[in-house]
Amino acid sequence: MSLDHRLTPEHEELRRTVQEFAQDVVAPKIGAFYERHEFPYEIVREMGRMGLFGLPFPEEYGGMGGDYLALCVALEELARVDSSVAITLEAGVSLGAMPIFRFGTEEQKRRWLPRLCTGEALGAFGLTEPDCGTDAGGTRTTAVRDGDAWVVNGTKSFITNSGTDITALITVTAVTGREEDGSPRISTLIVPARSPGLTVAPQYSKVGWNASDTRELSFADVRVPAENLLGEEGRGYAQFLRILDEGRIAIAALATGLAQGCVDESTAYARTRTAFGRPIGANQAIQFKLADMEARAHTARTAWRDAASRLMAGEPFKKAAAIAKLHSSDVAVVNAREATQIHGGNGFMNEYPVARMWRDAKILEIGEGTSEVQRMLIARELGVG
């Protein structure tokens, strides 16, 4: 396997395009959406017109015919400016549409993917539950077969993209029976948004990601057509493990973008902010902070690109994805803290992007597998877990 993780000309062109969009379109507007806790429909529609939601999917399903690296490149560039927009794309693609692409029937793909690929519709991934966050295998939501339908009951929490005006579906994990050893048989169902019996709670009051949509979902005798079973019955656990492994690479790219955005903002600030008659960037203490921040962002980028290249080459990538997610999320938190420190009192003011980045960083050590879970996965791959 090649160790050269430099971008191809096509990927570099995409990176520049998304960078320009993030700077010219997202940056001037997103702060107001963030403070109002408002979903940025206008920005998301433009992302859809650019083809960002279809990046890793074949053209036959309405996609752009790209690959997973292309998605991650776009996520990093968006997160350099704002993580709410980036997580909307990440969840819409790697959690919302990817399960259908990976495990769906041809009919399911042709029914759902075209609108998801254009950003006209969003998909959500209903995995986490109130009483079993990290222990996803402890799913309590149930789905019972009743004639030509599944009847779903239960609650899902912290579900991104689940309550927007353009949400079209939620892929929901549910217990559909018991195996011979008594363990739960977990399956995945495509639940159309606004199904009778599906209650979408108001948005959470969150510390960060305030311009993204995150809700609790309740299912009370929600009838789902039998043909909405995603893949084989009882394969839901294996399916979401695969989806989470892939998603960790995407989150690592997002975290790297946030870390790099902290470098961008802090470098610009250090050049223009004066104290004691000179720019603060003339002080070695600030220079060393910036150098360490850049080094951390660089190593995080190398880690996620390595994991992405393994995924696309069809090689084992679980450990590489866990390493990338663990390292990059830690880097994001440290860089956000240092960026706030460099900005001083201004870093505590929401008008400065680093204040938003500081609020957004912590969830990266929690979502799509906590840092503790990543360490467990890495240890297991080493044969000691």
* Residues 72-121: tens digit of each pLDDT: 999 999 999 999 999 999 999 999 999 999 999 999 999 999 999 999 99
Q: For residue 3, what pLDDT band results from cuts at 50, 70 and 90?
A: low
Catalytic residue among 76, 265, 294, 368: 368
- Residue 77 a catalytic site member: no
Give me the pLDDT at residue 136, please.
65
Say yes or no to pLDDT of 357 above 90.
yes
Mean per-residue pLDDT for 132-151?
Answer: 88
Fold of the 238-381 domain:
Butyryl-CoA Dehydrogenase, subunit A; domain 3 (1.20.140)
Residue 4 has pLDDT above 70, yes or no: no
Say how many C-beta atoms besides its own lie within 10 A of residue 295's C-beta. 12
Task: Of 299, 298, 290, 296, give the one whose Cα is nearest residue 341.
Answer: 290
The pLDDT, as a whole number, for residue 309 is: 96
Res 61: pLDDT: 97
d(C-alpha 53, C-alpha 247), whole Å: 14
Q: Output the pTM of the full model.
A: 0.96
> What is the percentage of the chain residues whose pLDDT exceeds 90?
95
User: What number is the average pLDDT over the span 250-272?
Assistant: 98
Q: Where are the domains of the chain?
A: 9-122, 124-234, 238-381
Alpha-carbon torsion, ordered 33, 112, 242, 164, to 10 deg: 20
pLDDT band at 1 (very low <50, low <70, confident <90, very high): very low
What is the torsional sign of CA 148, 153, 156, 161? positive
In the structure, what pLDDT confidence band is assigned to residue 30 with cuts at 50, 70 and 90? very high
CA–CA dist 127, 111 (Å, integer)? 22
pLDDT digits (tens, 9 = 90+) for 309-323: 999 999 999 999 999
pLDDT for the residue 182: 85
Cβ of 148: how many Cβ atoms within 10 Å? Answer: 9
Cβ atoms 194, 179 nearer than 8 A? no
The yes-or-no verdict on residue 278 having pLDDT over 70 is yes
C-alpha separations of 101 from 60, 96, 110, 252, 314 in Å: 12, 10, 10, 22, 16
User: What span, in angstroms and rounded, lies between the C-alpha atoms of 202 and 152?
Assistant: 21
| pLDDT tens per residue across span 149-174 | 999 999 999 999 999 999 999 999 99
Of residues 182 and 45, more confidence is placed in 45
Q: How far is CA 62 from CA 55, 58, 283, 372, in A?
A: 10, 7, 52, 38
Query: Which option is the CATH number for 124-234: 2.40.110.10, 3.30.70.260, 1.10.287.3510, 3.10.20.80?
Result: 2.40.110.10
Q: Is residue 76 within 8 Å of residue 14, measured between CB atoms?
A: no
pLDDT tier at 180 (50, 70, 90 boundaries)?
Answer: confident
Identify the band that residue 135 occupies on the pLDDT scale cut at 50, 70 and 90. confident
Q: Which two tokens stand for residue 94?
A: 């790697």
- pLDDT at 40 exceeding the cut of 90: yes
How many beta carbons lie within 10 A of that of residue 111, not counting itself? Answer: 16
Q: What is the pLDDT of residue 70?
A: 98
Better pLDDT: 328 or 179: 328
Average pLDDT, the chain: 96
pLDDT for 131 equals: 84
User: Which superfamily does CATH assign the domain made up of 9-122 to?
Assistant: Acyl-CoA dehydrogenase/oxidase, N-terminal domain (1.10.540.10)
What is the residue type of 65?
G
Report, as an integer, the average pLDDT of 373-377. Answer: 97
pLDDT greater than 80 at residue 133: no
First to last CA, the chain: 27
pLDDT at site 138 = 83
With helix as H, strand as E and coil as C, how does the chain read?
CCCCCCCCHHHHHHHHHHHHHHHHHHHHHHHHHHHHCCCCHHHHHHHHHHCHHHCCCCHHHCCCCCCHHHHHHHHHHHHCCCHHHHHHHHHHHHHHHHHHHHHCCHHHHHHHHHHHHHCCCEEEEECCECCECCCHHHCCCEEEEECCEEEEEEEEEEEECCCCCCEEEEEEEEEEEECCCCCEEEEEEEEECCCCCEEECCCCCCCCCCCCCEEEEEEEEEEEEHHHECCCCCCHHHHHHHHHHHHHHHHHHHHHHHHHHHHHHHHHHHHHCEECCEEHHHCHHHHHHHHHHHHHHHHHHHHHHHHHHHHHCCCCCHHHHHHHHHHHHHHHHHHHHHHHHHHHHHHHCCCCHHHHHHHHHHHHHCCCCCHHHHHHHHHHHCCCC
Q: Is the pLDDT of residue 255 over 70?
A: yes
Which residues 6+ apart lie within 8 Å of 190 measured at CB?
100, 104, 108, 112, 169, 170, 171, 172, 224, 228, 230
